[in-house]
A and B are shown apart, each in its own frame.
Chain A
Amino acid sequence: MQERGSVLVYAEQEEGEIHQVTFELLGKGRELADRLGVGLGSVLLGHRIGKQAAEPIHHGADKVFLYDDPSLRDFDVIRYARNTVKLLEEEKPDIFLIGATRIGRTLAPRIAAALKTGLTADCVDLSLDANGDLIQIRPAFSGNIMAQIKTRTKPQMATVRYKVMKMGERNPERKGTVVRKKAEIIEDTGMKILEKTEADEVNLTEAEVVVSAGRGLGRPEDFKLLEELAETLGGVVGSSRPLVDAGWIGKDHQVGFSGNVAKPRVYIACGISGAPQHLFGMRDSDIIIAINKDPSAPIFNVSDYGVVGDLYEILPALIRELKRESGKEDA
């Protein structure tokens, strides 16, 4: 049998802060590397990020390939891809994992195309077959089916959805090697960042908890109730389309086919009947809780927990219960 390459994880950073999905991938990557009997590496690109280089090691990496260069200060897909491709050509890993964030999904296809290797998008699970080849599991057809994908070429590349893998325990005692690499400088990539602004709008796509309202909501002011619940759970407020169209809440909050696709750990649908258009935007949530007065509402067909009742009674009770619980912990 030919010698196996390592498992490599892309460490995504923004403004010097490593994205959590990286640590989730390192957790999974460690598991895969141990089963294959190979090392786990991580590649980190940026500027003045040396301090962060130990983090992947604390989360399970044996080796971190660090590219610290002023030209890599901001994300430039050509510079980031070119340097990563060079590393992959040198290191020849068997498996290369990238977070399925917007940055990851911008970068990964370029790398895969440059290496003429396969790339599986937005995986929700990874495992190994008897030959040690990667089984990549992803939803297809907007969640109608699940597919197991395999890759004939190396590295086997996958982007992996944020928040589907368990993050390993951080161990600051863990030791590993930081390999400082010299970045290839590409002066003109054809792209220039003119301005960066904080995106302070609601980010439904990456939210852990979404509390959404539909036509069951009586008046725009009552979004306060949802906001309170969302805040208690550290989440954000979503909405079905009719309320957005009526101008009750901004389009940023819209969940559904013509809005945002939310994939939180928990989705609480309040007074939402569950039209297919809406289901498209939330059916991949880990847990769906539905509150609706109408027992025949289709939303109950996709819910893990259903409450046939009035959101104006359930939500205040739920907020009280959550506050009581957190009070207990503080005490």
Chain B
Amino acid sequence: MTRDLNIIVLIKQVPEIEKVRFDYEKGRLDRSSAAAVINPFDLNALEAAVQVKGKIGGAVTVVTMGPEKAEESLRDAIARGADQAVLLTDPEFAGADTLATSYTLASAIRKLGAFDLIICGEKTIDGDTAQVGPEVAELLGIPHVAFVEEIRDVDKRRVIVRSKMGRKYYLVELTFPGLITVTKDANTPRLPALRDKMRSRKTDVTIWDTEDLTDVAHKKSYGLAGSPTWVAKIYAPLSEKRRGQILEGTAEDVAERIVQALRVHRILR
């Protein structure tokens, strides 16, 4: 094969997790003080892609679905080594669960044409499902390896990855086209380089809405309408107000109380 490798990285813009607070009175999340950043695990995905490209050549296309301001994250991704970027934005895409999100991303990937390797972060810090990567793989009919901790080797035909499942490490050869999701152990993401920052400002971000995807997707499958799951209720968990008992006394007293507690919670039988 002489063609250069086509690598696609799926990213999500998320609020900075520590800045998000739960508004107990209104019963909802307050994101107002939180800056929007690239999901940290997706930075590992992007880094993996840029490293593969550095090793054997190719082009890295970063794709996200989100509001218009997600374009910032795409430019950030370009500054970190991506070559081109696609933003999927449309009110119709909003309110998507993992299936509708995966459907939209998979449709866009189809429209982009031939690809070899798709790389995702193992999960997002806001959704925390780890489902979108594998669902995209299924919708595209390609194999996937999740929770990849190391890319051992890559050539234009396949990648060899190490992933931990159950009690074992698996070294798996994944023939292209395929998808991997990477953990934070896979690499250390680089910081944006000055030169790439300049380039990121000049690079055009491709923006697609539902109209652009009509030849590859059904409108019914997007967003809220295409989401089989729905949030019936959200509430603050008790653990947020966990502040519990302070155990006092001598070290021996305290030790005895801890042992009692371990019994009460059936950790000791």
Contact = CB atoms under 8 A, between A and B. Distances in A.
A106 B165 contact: yes
Interface stretch (B2-10, B58-66, B195-203, B237-245): B237-245
B246 interface: yes
A118 B254 CA distance: 47
Interface stretch (A26-34, A35-43, A135-143): A135-143
B99 A191 contact: no
Contact of B244 (A108, A140, A305, A322): A305
A110 B138 contact: yes
Contacts of A118: 97, 99, 227-229
Interface in A255-287: 257-258, 265-266, 276-277, 280, 283-284, 286-287
A219 interface: no
B56 interface: no
9 contacts: A77-B144, A119-B229, A121-B129, A146-B234, A190-B175, A194-B173, A195-B170, A305-B244, A316-B251
B108 interface: no
A191 B244 contact: no
Main secondary structure of the interface of A (DSSP, over half): mixed
B246 A307 contact: yes
Contacts, number: 263
A193 B184 CA distance: 22
Interface residues of B, number: 82
Nearest to A308: B246
Interface in B241-269: 242-248, 250-252, 254-259, 261-262, 265, 267-268
Given A265-B267, A284-B239, A301-B243, A142 B125 contact: yes
Given A151-B229, A300-B246, A307-B247, A143 B135 contact: no
Nearest to A284: B239
Contacts of B255: 314, 317-318, 320-321
A318 B258 contact: yes
A177 interface: no
B239 A140 contact: no
Interface in B99-140: 99, 102, 125-139
A120 B40 CA distance: 22
Interface of A: 14-15, 19, 75, 77-78, 81, 101-103, 105-110, 112-114, 116-122, 135, 139-153, 189-199, 203, 208-209, 233, 251, 257-258, 265-266, 276-277, 280, 283-284, 286-289, 300-309, 313-314, 316-318, 320-322, 325
A306 B246 contact: yes
Contacts of A122: 128-129
B46 to A, nearest CB: 17
Contact of B135 (A109, A120, A300, A318): A109
A193 B172 contact: yes
Nearest to B97: A118
B265 A147 contact: no
B231 interface: yes
B177 to A, nearest CB: 8
B231 A318 contact: no
A109 B131 contact: yes
Contacts of A109: 98, 102, 130-135, 138
